[in-house]
A and B are shown apart, each in its own frame.
Chain A
């Protein structure tokens, strides 16, 4: 094996190390698609991937967006995070008809959100006229789920589904 091969192998391994979040997102898309969730939006660049799904047949939710943000900047904070990655889940519920009473709810939630400091795991509801969203975020350790090519995302997918269930219950009272 010559110098060329050594360099190429190093570059290849570096690519895989840098691709852990993409590997996880790929597995996420596959797992959720097989559960009947339908991809409707993919926004991805080097260290942040966002995938939105439609949930046909769901009694409350119309759309769920999952964002995996590796935050691989060069700052001290992002370096200290290592393989820790921020995962956000936003669930959206739509009402076809806007109710004037929604205005009052909208202002209440807007006001409440104004004084909320982002805390991991906390659910924040945002009320628009005919759309209500609930979002939360947490941190996951990519190294625990992706090692080389090996992906163990089953636990991650279950955890995401649990988060979605939680958001659904926050939105259910607003469903008309």
Chain B
């Protein structure tokens, strides 16, 4: 660059522009940079003009436009080029649009990971509303423990103790009769992709148990429990038997597949009344099984 016949620089393009704005040199001052074919007036360089006028220029041909008069391209110039042709308002609108859509997608994922627990809360609410009390909760991912407060059934496999539970398990008791309801729920479509394809599905095992007065009845149920253990991947409607030798309970259990979206809306509101109706229907059937088999 020449001013009063003297060459100055090298210096960044922004400095040259500032000199023009300050009146130290004219806009037609000659500039040169290593990639340039020769000296050329500043006001013939689109990027320099955009900086001078404060208006974003169109897409800049990187081969023709220097980033600085005698310096390598500065990062700020590249960022400006990225945003060229877009007003601040347009950029803000695009950003907010991306963020809004991200939240929508996140909420879909969140629903897929929360819907089974929303149903679990709904089952608790529906049964506690009717007078049951919760005596055990184990959730998927929590370690399986053994002992008096362990899993809902007596058939905890020692080999699985300490491993993460693959499903949610609930055990509730009716204070007046001592009758128990157990629920094991495994979310089959826990990610947004499979849920979109198949819907929100869960494999559920609902059990109903009563205390029986003598050891022989419990041992009979235990024998049937062993037989039940050979039923691999039970189909819906299969009734199996279980027993808790410690506190003398016998249980009838049934496998079902449930569509969780029937009970939970996209904003996690639960239809407690529908859950209550469905639980009532299942418990009624299982109670009939238990009483007809063991006469309790």
Contact (Cβ within 8 A) B215 A4: yes
Contact (Cβ within 8 A) A39 B270: yes
B214 within 8 A of A: yes
Q: Mark B109-123, 1 if CB is under 8 A from A, else 0.
A: 010001001101110
From the candidates B124, B135, B149, B211, name the one contacting A46 in the complex (CB within 8 A): B149
Contact (Cβ within 8 A) A38 B269: yes
A126 to B25 CA separation, bound complex (whole angstroms)? 54
Tell me, rounded to whole Å, the shortest Cβ–Cβ distance linking A81 to chain B: 17
Q: Which of A26-42 contact B (CB under 8 A)?
A: 26-27, 29-30, 33-34, 38-42
B178 within 8 A of A: yes
From the candidates A45, A54, A56, A96, name the one contacting B139 in the complex (CB within 8 A): A45
A125 to B175 CA separation, bound complex (whole angstroms)? 41
Tell me, rounded to whole Å, the shortest Cβ–Cβ distance linking B161 to chain A: 11
Q: Which of B148-174 contact A (CB under 8 A)?
A: 148-150, 168, 172-173
Stretch of A8-16, A104-112, A137-145 contacting B (4+ beta carbons < 8 Å): A8-16
Which chain A residues border B65 with CB–CB below 8 Å?
none
Knowing A12-B247, A18-B148, A45-B145, the reply to whether A40 touches B118 (Cβ < 8 A) is yes
A45 to B143 CA separation, bound complex (whole angstroms)? 7
From the candidates B103, B114, B133, name the one contacting A23 in the complex (CB within 8 A): B133
Knowing A19-B135, A46-B145, A46-B149, the reply to whether A56 touches B128 (Cβ < 8 A) is no
Contact (Cβ within 8 A) A45 B142: yes
Contact (Cβ within 8 A) A15 B135: yes
A26 to B137 CA separation, bound complex (whole angstroms)? 9
Which chain B residues border A23 with CB–CB below 8 Å?
133-135
Tell me, rounded to whole Å, the shortest Cβ–Cβ distance linking A11 to chain B: 4
Which chain B residues border A5 with CB–CB below 8 Å?
213-214, 248
Contact (Cβ within 8 A) B129 A30: yes
Which chain B residues border A26 with CB–CB below 8 Å?
124, 128, 132-134, 137, 172
Q: Nearest chain-A residue to B137 (Cβ)?
A: A44
Contact (Cβ within 8 A) B133 A8: no
A16 to B94 CA separation, bound complex (whole angstroms)? 58
Chain A residues within 8 Å of B, Cβ to Cβ:
2, 4-5, 7-8, 11-12, 14-16, 18-19, 22-23, 25-27, 29-30, 33-34, 38-46, 49, 51, 54, 56, 96-97, 148-151
